[in-house]
Structure 1
């Protein structure tokens, strides 16, 4: 059964398109990967063009929608709206962001900015009313290069030892995984699964790759 928050995403996107003047376009995308480390990816709810105070033209940013369903999380969201307003401008790491966006979601917004290279993100909080979602608060977040770089450094320390072998250039060119490619900690059953899946994955990479970069 689909979670209520997931069911609410499409109606919320439609509502944002039609009624939020600072959002000039919303585009749904699939899984995106970071061009500096292909082991790192993200699948945002959407990408939008947002009018911000510090840019002459609308900027691209990831859009993340969260629907609050419990009384406690709805109360927290409404308290944040009461204190900071329906539409909020803030910077990653400041007190306003920390009050409006829970810690787990702050990391999600930062991860999206890292993968896409965007300098802004949008976090939309909704609540369910009579089975339908209504927008509680829209948080526009500025994300500095320093914040992204710091996060990337820490993330790569974890990702590279775990997944780097799957994205080795020689392995990708070969198109298959061999036993000698695996770290010692990968079990035999998992090696079998990865070998099977890798053929399709590497074939897909070759299909979408061009001299100028991925399609």
Structure 2
């Protein structure tokens, strides 16, 4: 990245950036799939408005199909967040974060930077991962959360909405993601952006330890 000036805030992706993709794919998604029908049956009031958004003759089957297809549908993300909340509360789930993640969050906040999250997972799910992480509760180090209700992560307009919500100039926000299309969209919106890949030499950085002093 060509640094024009030091950013005033940081925006982070989760999967592949702060946390392993395998945690979401191999632990969270299967957990939600396994418990979805049971949760809906046990929590009809909470589930009803979500199922209404899904529609169809069998919304539960549709939701399970969406999990299998890795769809980024907001009703699914909302319901997954509720199911995961129960799993975290029961101690069955712990949010994965890379070792450099809590160190980076403390370093940035200590330097006066506000750290925000932008993930396809719901805001509730984001707070659960960081609130019940293997490194403890990291939510005091985070200032804001954004999800698919803001817009698609590969759409530059989404990043414009985020900088507006944070009351920043686009170039004052630094976005870090492992997805090239997301980095491109952020740069198109005027943000500073870095592509992170822990095992790819072609990436801009390979650890959050490399981001700012």
Report the TM-score when normalising by structure 2. 0.26
Greater RCO (Cα-Cα under 8 Å, separation 6 or more): 2
- The structure number with the bigger radius of gyration is 1
Higher strand proportion? 1
